Amino acid sequence: MEKNKIYISVPVNAARNTLMELKKLCPNSEVFNSSKKYYSDDLVYLEKIKEGKMDEVPDIIVTIRPELLWERNYLKNLEAFDDEYKYDLDSDLESKKLLDNKWILKPIFIMPIVIFYNKEMENPPQTWESLLEPRFKGKIITTDIATPPAVLFKQFYKQALGQKGEDFVENDVEYLGLPIDVNKAVSKKEYDIGIMPLSFAMFSKDNGSAICWPKEGALHLTQVMIMKKGYNEETKKAADFLVSQKAQEMFSGGASFIPVIPNIEVPKQFKENDKALFWKDWDSFIDMAK
């Protein structure tokens, strides 16, 4: 009989501990992460789903790629994925309708994306729109164009600001490497501004950089798990762990992600900025992909 497959594609600062725990909990399953850069295996599995090759799709996919989130309605209509496994959600996130109540995309945590800038800058940016000011042209860097934060960043500007936003993301921003590379580039003053996840913005080795939580709210990627219908006990154990107090505290305290279950301490910067995340509704978020 083929082994149960648990595919865990989580950001590097949470990956090692998550994989270790799941391998202990699920000894009879193949627990593995992306073999390609920038979690691009996730997109391979999305293609397998669209091709109807469900036997080549893991029993559980844990992903932060926005391309899978944008396919929520398609995945729901397939009726191949579980919508019955549920758990208590944080009431504040739920009241903002930020978390998907369809239960096809089961939320694990939210990764906020913020502006990171050199402290010596006069009149630093305060909003996402202010990045379009001519004085910042050529001075903004974010992660490689194939990474989830960059994919979301580009689509956000195209949706929010139309042609002006598209011109900005195509011509005025540098896309290079991983969040740690963006952090270094701003810390070394090679660029004035970096766009990156909060967790990596906080790892600046000097005091020469600062974080701006934009007034419109941080952009965000939701880490989700997608479970095939008829999942077995080890898949359930994996899901139970990912939404357990232990894992949620690790995601929040250890990696500055926003937990999704109740009664977990949230990252300090999230609390200090009134828990502001840029969000209208699910329809608007899905439309971002067009």
pLDDT of 33: 92
pLDDT of 203: 66
pLDDT of 199: 86
- Do 192 and 266 reside in the same domain of the chain? no
| 81-99 per-position pLDDT tens digit | 999 999 999 999 999 999 9
Sequence-separated (6 or more) residues with CB below 8 Å from residue 256: 112, 197, 198, 199, 202, 267, 269
pLDDT of 198: 93
Q: Quote the CA–CA distance of 236 and 183 in Å, as a whole number.
A: 37
- Do 225 and 107 reside in the same domain of the chain? yes
Q: Quote the CA–CA distance of 192 and 197 in Å, as a whole number.
A: 16
- Do 140 and 281 reside in the same domain of the chain? no
- The range of the structural domain enclosing residue 199 comes to 112-212
pLDDT of 202: 73
- Do 201 and 66 reside in the same domain of the chain? no
Cα–Cα distance list, 128 to 116, 125, 133, 224, 250 (Å) = 12, 8, 10, 25, 29
pLDDT of 116: 93
- Do 203 and 241 reside in the same domain of the chain? no
pLDDT of 207: 66
- Do 120 and 202 reside in the same domain of the chain? yes
- Do 103 and 201 reside in the same domain of the chain? no
pLDDT of 287: 96
Final residue of a structural domain among 212, 230, 262? 212
- Do 225 and 200 reside in the same domain of the chain? no
Final residue of a structural domain among 148, 183, 212? 212
Final residue of a structural domain among 147, 177, 212? 212
Number of domains observed in the structure of the chain:
2
- Do 234 and 201 reside in the same domain of the chain? no
Residues of the chain falling short of pLDDT 70: 1, 203-207
- Do 270 and 255 reside in the same domain of the chain? yes
Sequence-separated (6 or more) residues with CB below 8 Å from residue 77: none
CATH of the domain at 59: 3.40.190.10
CA dihedral over 223, 62, 281, 219, signed as positive or negative: positive
- Do 149 and 207 reside in the same domain of the chain? yes
- Do 117 and 63 reside in the same domain of the chain? no
10 Å Cβ neighbour count for 48? 15
